[in-house]
Structure 1
């Protein structure tokens, strides 16, 4: 009977995931929210080695990207290799490498955790992945295209599972040192994989790991230095595997949050992004459910109140059921604590004790990455996906003499759960759950932009998700660059007397007013507005220095304007008719240069966001560090003779290579250790 129920539960699990995630079926792109789209022309030119400089950062003007080098490298490598080996479209890649693995890993990961900590509730195990993979938080994350966060999320229970195993191996009276170190290595590997996708989610999980070890140590009264020592070994292994970006990050003191401005690092931004109150967090209800409209918080829905009641009822059941009390009380206490911690931090700067979160944001190292507190929903999701099946098991024990008690309890809970996500079940959610076709006009525009010479495109007010953006033709997002989407503010900047000159220095050849195929750019009161688009259209048509370019084969849904002039990516500043500069990008952090006919000292301008770590090495001249121009580009004084050759290099890249060697060595040692131990 029990085996038949497990088979039935497995079928129900597959059916539920199939029904709710059916929007991911098919062969059309899923691009929505933060999940983009790339043409084959982009993918085939991806650099697969880690790079310290990312051309699309700072809204298309380039920036230090070592803090995202892990995820960026994984993305570029997998996309290019997949396309090279299969020749399949982007829609295949995103499903095979991202969306389907998200479901498979999430199922395996959550099942591994619940089977380890509560082996006696086998008949309810398969409810855990349903809760973990279909709650409102992760549905909003995956539907919003935050697949880096989503992949780290589904790996979190697996990392926690390995840390619990590690603790148990340490606590054995006569443990095998070989087994102990093998578990350390395995834990370090899965931790490194989680860091690869999103280190912020790892930060959140650390709270869970520390909470587990603290609770169990209190119950078992077994705290010694060995626990602290072996707690840190997996982090050391993971750090070595990620040395290729951690090394330059530390040595060059990169502060990505501060570089993004006050909108990412101020107390005001934390208060603004604290959308969830304590009641939303405690009930595992995402504040933007179900429409996922930024900033629009919905009222608490009463059916969600049953979820924390079911979860925390496990404490009551343990006290009543003396048979199970001594065996699982530490685990119950841990998951209850985990859920409460998650609810407390997920509310962010909202009462109660809102000053605690703000104090930690300002003073706790690394905590300033959480201007959006909903990342802590992970802890609630893990806790409830384990506690609710435990409570259901205890209810089943009370009614075990009734026929089909297990089946009835499971069906009733599934009915409750599916009612909380009924919009998802009905297919009413947007985002990645709705397939899209690439508008033909963007296919035409891609061919127009894909020219041999270097230039940028300026998108007003924002870059459209199907717009081409490559190393040779970066797309600049003007609204984000100006930190405003207001039509009046953006158009006032475009009409400024100095704008044409600034665009030329940014190497902008085309100004593009996009076709908003998914209704997410021209917004008024959180809804698409054709009037906003018309306002931009009329102003750009009347602009005195822009020339509208007719594009053959385009249905006039996209407006393309050409600037009067544009500079090259690198150019010589000064009066000279004889000076010539030729350059070639060999890597995003390395350019080779040849300068001829230089009659006098001049300045070399490099049209990327200023960074003092760009260094120019020319024959016959000492190494020159970049100096900022008035508009925050890179400049280098040149005082050579008639002709010179050299390189322009971004120095943190050298330490990326050093770190990559260290990471490769650590990977080899790790693989050998897993095989040998």
Structure 2
């Protein structure tokens, strides 16, 4: 294939794949809700991904396990930075990853087919891999981990094959793996997907080790590949590893009581369904006679679709009948068989073996969603095997077509190809037409929706009012369900990344202290308790956001009718945006995010006592169940006066506190969720009263932390330290896991810079060499003994 034709083919492939999302997303709409969580301010949202603590979710939460989504949100931020509308940002983001899937598979098909390049076979592999029924759920919510695995599988398999066949040098392999690893870093959001990627590549290494002669070369390739991939992903792997270590490792299935979860996901994953890439539980869900996924009826009830669903697996597995069976086919067959076995989960006949593996094999607990994790193995296997069957079928059919249509052979051949491709596109019509984002009436919400203008007006208003205070949502609900069809566990305001939002979090197996306190505050608020403003102040609530766009069956009407007068005793209406009201809570009772306390109390006493504002703002609630937590002081240990404090937020993981006039011990209260990794340091005293000295946003503080033994939970959720230093000084509050991210990011940045520099400077000299074992086609019998003649000797002599 000439360079010009290759460029035209790639341009056409990019154009076709890139145009599909414009069908998915209508003008003025966004695909959002559910698990999608498309940010309404992608630039600000992307900036927050660089920190190990998210302060916008309730009272703050660790995000060390989320760094892997930086590349995904980086794509959105780039398009948003160009000044494009949110709809176009989302379309281009979808297009980017859809193109990445297609080009990744085209690359692997090219690696496998370099011996006799046939464009239509490559495109058939791309079509099957880029559009199949497994991807319906992936694109429904734009699942980052799924996309990372799905892009990475053919990309890394192709690179490994090139290196194993000595078609590229190891230096070039390392330089290519690093940027590819960053691109596919989304697999790190779920370690199970990263493990699945490693499993697929490990199988390829085992096959190569068994079939290729130079096993030392296979080992060298494996070492270079693993090292380059590890360096590329240090920015998320290091904080993830430290997070899991601090968490005590990955909980077992028994600890999470997740056996029912696996059984639920595996209810319909029979071998017959899984081999046809049909097994998502949503397809079979019916509520009050209405399907959860409207298009599923086509695949479960329509005879034509049912028959067609068997075509892909039958044609793919038929490749094993084409002799001789090439190494790539054996690898694909092993990958597909393993995918069918694992994707079935706990469903018979192999379900018992899968459950045994989960209960007895260390680390197998990761694979708690088997259908979603292992079905990409099946899709890749089919994409590799199908071209072999099609090539054999075409070899048998072509002579008859030439004989029957001698003058119109090319037109007839093209018509056959277009007809088959068109029939397949009809089969996957929900993906082509964007119906994967449509939910039935049973779902109570849709994913493609139009955001009301008042939502953006409220977001802009909040952006202009930076403040450490939080926003509490009313009515309370564990999931968002608004009358303009937005639904999900992610509050709409959080999509702006503007201000911390307190809400009734989705019910977890083990509620946190913040969850329990939030429930208590809601209960007191609904009961009209006089202690409500104190509890709101305890959680640093600045606004009550009453949303009148909740459906009628929720408690919105109750909140408005029964709490209106009571709430307005301590909160006044500040702004109204359409169906949203923002009531400002009495600022006199709102405790600052950082303050000094010299009075200790318990939550029950506060509810009965209701102290004066001046006393309240020096109070720390430390008693839990009538007992002081470990490390907490007694009232007699504290000074009679508190120092003057002033704090500055450097970022969500670092706060600088100026302390002036400390005359004795006091409790420093920091209003973020208690975590032992929040550390307190003493910094050199700074001069000047207007601003605090600037600190690097990503720097690490080298001094040992203070008050390690005196760090305890206060106010039901926050951090408290017993500080005994007197005089004037500065303190630094830092979330230590940020250091792990900084270290990993530094390694990944150096590796990526070096790899890109190498590719720019030396990559052209290291182009792939001729095809090797994986792509070598068998020669006809008369040509098998042909050898290159020695210099000076005629061939055949």
Question: TM (normalized to structure 2)?
Answer: 0.70
| Residue of structure 1 in register with 2:198 after alignment | 206
Deviations 1:260-281 (A, max 9, x none): 9999673343334445412332
The offset of 1:569, in angstroms, is: 2.0
Distance 1:446 1:167 in 2: 53
2:650 match: secondary structure: strand
1:480 match: secondary structure: coil
| Residue of structure 2 in register with 1:454 after alignment | 468
Q: 1:624 to 1:216 in 2, by over 3 A?
A: same
1:380 aligns with 2:378: yes
Which of the residues 422, 427, 433 maps onto 1:420? 427
Q: Is the 8 A contact 2:178 2:755 kept in 1?
A: no
| Residue of structure 1 in register with 2:596 after alignment | 572
The offset of 1:81, in angstroms, is: 5.5
| Residue of structure 2 in register with 1:124 after alignment | 121
| Residue of structure 2 in register with 1:623 after alignment | 706
2:591 match: secondary structure: coil
Q: Is the 8 A contact 2:133 2:428 kept in 1?
A: yes
The offset of 1:129, in angstroms, is: 2.3
Q: Is the 8 A contact 2:24 2:433 kept in 1?
A: no
| Residue of structure 2 in register with 1:392 after alignment | 390
Which of the residues 87, 91, 94 maps onto 1:95? 91
Which of the residues 655, 668, 693 maps onto 1:604? 668
Q: 1:75 to 1:429 in 2, by over 3 A?
A: closer
The offset of 1:592, in angstroms, is: 0.3
Q: 1:478 to 1:561 in 2, by over 3 A?
A: farther
Further displaced range: 254-263 or 619-628: 254-263
Q: Is the 8 A contact 2:526 2:559 kept in 1?
A: no
Q: 1:329 to 1:458 in 2, by over 3 A?
A: same
2:184 match: secondary structure: helix
Distance 2:736 2:265 in 1: 36
Distance 1:558 1:586 in 2: 31
The offset of 1:284, in angstroms, is: 0.9
| Residue of structure 1 in register with 2:222 after alignment | 231
1:638 aligns with 2:639: no
1:114 aligns with 2:109: yes
Which of the residues 733, 751, 771 maps onto 1:666? 751
Deviations 1:358-411 (A, max 9, x none): 344455555444322212221122122333333233222222212456445434
| Residue of structure 1 in register with 2:774 after alignment | none
| Residue of structure 1 in register with 2:701 after alignment | none
| Residue of structure 2 in register with 1:67 after alignment | 65
Q: 1:447 to 1:101 in 2, by over 3 A?
A: closer
Distance 2:721 2:667 in 1: 5
Distance 1:579 1:32 in 2: 46
Q: Is the 8 A contact 2:19 2:95 kept in 1?
A: no
In the alignment, structure 1 segments of 5+ residues that lack a partner are: 170-174, 517-521, 523-528
Further displaced range: 302-311 or 397-406: 302-311
The offset of 1:142, in angstroms, is: 1.5
Distance 1:370 1:588 in 2: 32
The offset of 1:237, in angstroms, is: 1.4
1:531 aligns with 2:553: yes
In the alignment, structure 2 segments of 5+ residues that lack a partner are: 440-445, 481-489, 600-617, 619-640, 685-703, 767-797
Q: Is the 8 A contact 1:51 1:65 kept in 2?
A: yes
Distance 1:563 1:87 in 2: 36
Distance 2:126 2:40 in 1: 34
The offset of 1:671, in angstroms, is: 3.3
Question: What is the correspondence of 1:216-295 to structure 2 with a 5 Å cutoff?
Answer: 216-218=208-210, 220=211, 222=213, 224-251=215-242, 253-255=245-247, 266-274=258-266, 276-278=268-270, 279-288=272-281
Q: Is the 8 A contact 1:595 1:643 kept in 2?
A: yes
Further displaced range: 600-609 or 356-365: 356-365
Q: Is the 8 A contact 1:191 1:234 kept in 2?
A: no
The offset of 1:623, in angstroms, is: 1.4
| Residue of structure 2 in register with 1:525 after alignment | none
1:145 aligns with 2:142: yes
Deviations 1:425-448 (A, max 9, x none): 555443699754331221332245
The offset of 1:283, in angstroms, is: 0.7
| Residue of structure 2 in register with 1:182 after alignment | 172
Q: Is the 8 A contact 1:50 1:69 kept in 2?
A: yes
Distance 1:8 1:453 in 2: 53
Deviations 1:449-469 (A, max 9, x none): 342321122333246654256
1:478 match: secondary structure: coil
| Residue of structure 1 in register with 2:678 after alignment | 614
CA RMSD in angstroms, aligned pairs only: 4.4
The offset of 1:15, in angstroms, is: 5.8
Q: Is the 8 A contact 2:679 2:736 kept in 1?
A: yes
Distance 2:468 2:10 in 1: 57
Question: What is the correspondence of 1:461-610 to structure 2 with a 5 Å cutoff?
Answer: 461=477, 462=479, 466-468=492-494, 473-480=499-506, 495=526, 502-514=535-547, 530-532=552-554, 534=556, 537=559, 541=563, 544=566, 550=573, 552=575, 554-555=577-578, 557-563=579-585, 565-575=589-599, 576=618, 579-610=643-674
Q: Is the 8 A contact 1:283 1:305 kept in 2?
A: no
Q: 1:150 to 1:445 in 2, by over 3 A?
A: same
Distance 2:189 2:84 in 1: 31
Q: 1:144 to 1:648 in 2, by over 3 A?
A: same
Question: TM (normalized to structure 1)?
Answer: 0.81
Aligned residue-pair number: 644
Distance 2:669 2:113 in 1: 63
1:163 aligns with 2:160: yes
Deviations 1:80-131 (A, max 9, x none): 55555x33333343333x2121122122111111222245553232122222
Deviations 1:550-585 (A, max 9, x none): 465533x23545555432222333335754322111
Q: Is the 8 A contact 1:31 1:145 kept in 2?
A: no
Q: Is the 8 A contact 1:312 1:387 kept in 2?
A: no
Distance 2:278 2:138 in 1: 13
Deviations 1:141-199 (A, max 9, x none): 12213245325423431122111212222xxxxx8xx8233224323442343125546
